[in-house]
Amino acid sequence: GMKLAWKQEDVEEALASAQREARAAFGDERVLLERFITRPRHIEVQVFCDQHGNGVYLFERDCSVQRRHQKSESYLRMERLVEAAIQTGAHAVHPGYGFLSENAKFADTLRAAGVTLVGPPAAAMLSMGDKKEAKSIMEKAGVPVVPGYHGSDQSLERLVEEAGRVGFPLLIKAVMGGGGK
């Protein structure tokens, strides 16, 4: 339920929509505001293949690794990924971004199998499930964070005021979420 507001006139509608979605998904309508970065960059290493076990080459990828007999949902099946790591002799697994990279159970399952998760420990993932708390932890640690508002005053007036302070384009998203849900 992330929403973008490209200008001040978009804020109230985007806020209302994000709050409805947050309330429906998490029972908590609190949102946070962040400056939206329009051109982020990361290097992606991807495990993939087609339904026949043949590798699929994507030109824009920096690196790719084939895994045979992958079904479209297999990247969410923890036991299969741990099994593949053990069978191939992998010492570590980086699950990408989102889904299993935020799942504390996956981190614990890998650890129990003797495989290192390239990412935070399970306890940190649990703390990071609350974006407001996560951002607060990072700020206290001196980690640079994207400008935004994650305060407790969730009144329309305050959120609209903070939107103007943060700047546009503006990302509006639920405080709760993440954790591989």
Considering the chain, what is the average pLDDT of its residues?
Answer: 76
**Over the stretch 20-52, which tens digit does the pLDDT of each residue have?**
888 888 888 888 788 787 765 443 334 455 555
SS3 letters for 42-111?
CCCEEEECCCCCCCCCCCCCCEEEECCCCCCCHHHCHHHHHHHHHHHCCCEECCCCCHHHHCHHHHHHHH
Question: How many helices (H) does the chain have, and how many strands (E)?
Answer: 6, 8
Whether the model clears a pTM of 0.75, i.e. scores above it, the answer is no
Say whether pLDDT at 121 is over 60: yes
Q: Which residues pair with 170 in a beta bridge?
A: 5, 35
In degrees and rounded to multiples of 5, residue 172 shows phi and psi of: -120, 125
pLDDT at position 110 is 92
pLDDT of 40-95, one tens digit each?
544 333 445 555 555 444 434 444 444 444 444 555 677 777 877 777 677 888 77
CB-side exposure of 56: number of CA atoms within 13 Å? 13
pLDDT computed for residue 35 by the predictor? 79
Q: Check residue 95 and give its pLDDT.
A: 76
Rounded Cα distance, 62 and 162, in Å? 38
In percent, the amount of the chain with pLDDT more than 70 equals 73
Q: How many CB atoms lie within 10 A of CB 48?
A: 15
pLDDT tier, 9 (very low <50, low <70, confident <90, very high otherwise): very high
